[in-house]
Amino acid sequence: MATISFRSLMLFSAVLRLFFIIYGEWQDTHMEVRYTDVDYLVFSDAAALMALGKSPYKRSTYRYSPLIAFLLIPNALIHRTWGKILFSVSDLLVGYFIRTILKLRGVPENLCTYSVMVWLLNPFTFTIGTRGNCEPIVCAMVLWIIICLMNGNLLHAAFWYGLVVHLRIYPIIYAFPIILTLDQSHFQSGKKPILTDWSSSKIQSTNGSGSIKITDPCHIWVSLKSMFTRGRLLFGLISAAVFFFCTGFFFYLYAWEFLHEALLYHLTRTDPRHNFSIYFYHIYLHYEHEFALSEKLISFLPQVTVQLVLIWRFAQDLPFCFFLQTLAFVAFNKVITAQYFVWFFCLLPLVLPWTNMKLKWEGWACILFWIGAQSHWLMWGYLLEFNGKHVFMQLWMASLLFLAANTYVMVTFILRHTSSPVFKRLEHGLSNIPTKID
């Protein structure tokens, strides 16, 4: 019965996305305001240029890897909705991968299904793919990397990790927790890693002994000594090789245009135009002169500090670490656009089975605070952009409230989380079922 329920959920989700793709075509044709995201038009134009053998960067504001344009070449050759279908299929794949990860850890079927519903039936999620945003592809790749790690396929995980960092730079923040997870006690040659079961982690929580004592000084020293394990070296070398190969190949094809638009732009981006970030007004007010080094460092410090502390504390609980890191990365970033939210939405279902937060009323408090703060910001943004009112101060204060909402969500999740390292320690000398790490 539960299996049919998941199938029904996937079928319903697929039909829902198909409906919105068709509806989007109708709205684009008949209404002044398009359903399709502006970015999709950028992708399509870049893909059309690529189909003609030209550089996709001839299309201004195309700031992505050429791979995205390559994937959308059928937009120009077959039908313009090809890309939306591809993104929606990736969207469904994310749902499938979420279930896969949860089942690997022995999460009960009903809890799996509810968690998957958080992604598949999230209005934000299914509109983002059907409007033509490419983030579902990145989300699917991140989850696939987690699956590969959980199955001990280090080479695959490394390959896809190098590729996803090439596509979207932000997954670089996952490098440290992945490296820390590839501990010799978890990954040994010829042995499949053992995963912590959901039910056992719940029992350990009751006894209050769920976390690994990574604060133990002796443990830190041992960790430092054993830092350069075969698994870590392999993962680092292969992912770096894939990333630099892609970068080098596209630099050969498209030269500095590619490097600047697809890479450097994102690393140095400071957008003075209004966005969810608390920094937008500060950047606008200072745009006529260069920022001092101290100003750049001060704005960088909170982000780096939070990332390092979260990695140090939660690296062994990989999905939870990814979720918190992504949420923090977005919240403290200098530019925040709505599409960034998908980056942590895809990881949220992976942490829900381990939270002690009840929907009533802590869960509802998080949801309402977060959505309320966002809606509040959107209201002032509308007044500024579409009504021409001078509301810069109010909009900036709304962005402060949004940061407060993000902080509240992070703090609540941390306090209500049942620590559950993904991998158990392998005992030396015991022979497990041999599985190649490839």
Partner 1 sequence: HFTGIQQFKLQLSLRLVIALYFFAGIGWCKHASTINEVGSCNSNFNDSNPSSSVNEFITEAYFEKHASLIDSDFRGFISKEIPLEFCEVLQDKLEPVPKLSISHRHLIGEGSHRHLSSSIRLEIQPSSKFTLPAHFCDAILVERLPSGVFADPFELQHLLQRGVFTSAAFFGDTNLELPSVRSNRSIVEIHMDIGPDILSGNNNGMEINIEVPLHARYAPLGEHGFSRIEFSAPDLFTGCSFEGKSHKQSCIFLSTNKSLELKAGAVVWDVPCGIKEHTGIVSVVTFFSAIVSALLVVFTAFRYSDTTGCNNLKQM
Give the residue, chosen from 118, 313, 338, 363, that forms a contact with partner 1 under the rule CB under 8 A.
313
Residues between 41 and 60 with contacts to partner 1, criterion CB under 8 A: 41, 44-45, 48-54, 58-60
Taking CB under 8 A as the rule, does residue 332 contact partner 1? yes
Q: Which is nearer to partner 1, 141 or 165 (CB)?
A: 141
Beta-carbon count within 10 A of 356 CB = 11
Taking CB under 8 A as the rule, does residue 407 contact partner 1? yes
Taking CB under 8 A as the rule, does residue 263 contact partner 1? no
Which residues on neighbouring strands pair with residue 417, listed in sequence order? 355
Taking CB under 8 A as the rule, does residue 39 contact partner 1? no
Provide, rounded to whole angstroms, the least separation between the CB of residue 260 and partner 1: 13
Angle at 339 between CA 335 and CA 342, to 5 degrees: 115
Taking CB under 8 A as the rule, does residue 129 contact partner 1? no
Please give the Cα distance from 265 to 85 (Å, whole number): 28
Provide, rounded to whole angstroms, the least separation between the CB of residue 258 and partner 1: 17
Q: Which is nearer to partner 1, 269 or 358 (CB)?
A: 269
In angstroms, the Cα distances linking 178 to 39, 136, 169, 418 are 31, 21, 16, 20
Cβ–Cβ under 8 Å, residues 142 and 119? no
Give the residue, chosen from 27, 100, 184, 394, that forms a contact with partner 1 under the rule CB under 8 A.
100
Nearest partner of 137 among 7, 54, 58, 39, judged by Cα: 39
Nearest partner of 350 among 415, 420, 423, judged by Cα: 420
Taking CB under 8 A as the rule, does residue 116 contact partner 1? no
Q: Give the binding-site size for partner 1 (rule: CB under 8 A).
A: 80
Contact letters (x/-) for partner 1, 133-162, by CB under 8 A?
------------------x----x------
Provide, rounded to whole angstroms, the least separation between the CB of residue 393 and partner 1: 6
Q: Which region, judged by CB under 8 A, interacts with partner 1, from 72-80, 128-136, 167-175, 368-376?
A: 72-80
Taking CB under 8 A as the rule, does residue 71 contact partner 1? yes
What's at 413, amino acid-wise?
F
Question: What is the Cα gyration radius of the chain?
Answer: 22
Contact letters (x/-) for partner 1, 369-398, by CB under 8 A?
---------------xxxxxxxxxx--x--
Measured over the CA atoms of residue 387, residue 37, residue 162 and residue 182, the dihedral's sign is positive
Q: Which is nearer to partner 1, 43 or 235 (CB)?
A: 43
Q: Which is nearer to partner 1, 302 or 372 (CB)?
A: 302
Q: Which is nearer to partner 1, 118 or 212 (CB)?
A: 212
Residues between 168 and 187 with contacts to partner 1, criterion CB under 8 A: none
Please give the Cα distance from 226 to 260 (Å, whole number): 38
Which residues on neighbouring strands pair with residue 188, listed in sequence order? 191
Provide, rounded to whole angstroms, the least separation between the CB of residue 123 and partner 1: 26
Taking CB under 8 A as the rule, does residue 284 contact partner 1? yes
Q: Which region, judged by CB under 8 A, interacts with partner 1, from 2-10, 211-219, 233-241, 249-257?
A: 211-219
Please give the Cα distance from 5 to 43 (Å, whole number): 36
Taking CB under 8 A as the rule, does residue 414 contact partner 1? yes
Taking CB under 8 A as the rule, does residue 254 contact partner 1? no
Terminal Cα-to-Cα distance of the chain (whole angstroms): 35
Ramachandran assignment for 211, one of left (phi > 0), alpha (psi -120 to 50 degrees), beta (any other): beta
Taking CB under 8 A as the rule, does residue 361 contact partner 1? no
Report the C-alpha dihedral over residues 175, 178, 179, 181, rounded to 10 degrees.
160
What's at 281, amino acid-wise?
Y
Angle at 120 between CA 118 and CA 122, to 5 degrees: 60
Taking CB under 8 A as the rule, does residue 104 contact partner 1? yes
Nearest partner of 378 among 401, 348, 404, 408, judged by Cα: 401
Q: Which region, judged by CB under 8 A, interacts with partner 1, from 218-226, 238-246, 357-365, 407-415?
A: 407-415
Provide, rounded to whole angstroms, the least separation between the CB of residue 59 and partner 1: 6
Helices (H), 105-229: 109-120, 123-130, 135-150, 154-167, 175-181, 198-207, 217-225
Q: Which region, judged by CB under 8 A, interacts with partner 1, from 125-133, 233-241, 252-260, 402-410?
A: 402-410
Taking CB under 8 A as the rule, does residue 4 contact partner 1? no
Q: Which is nearer to partner 1, 428 or 433 (CB)?
A: 433
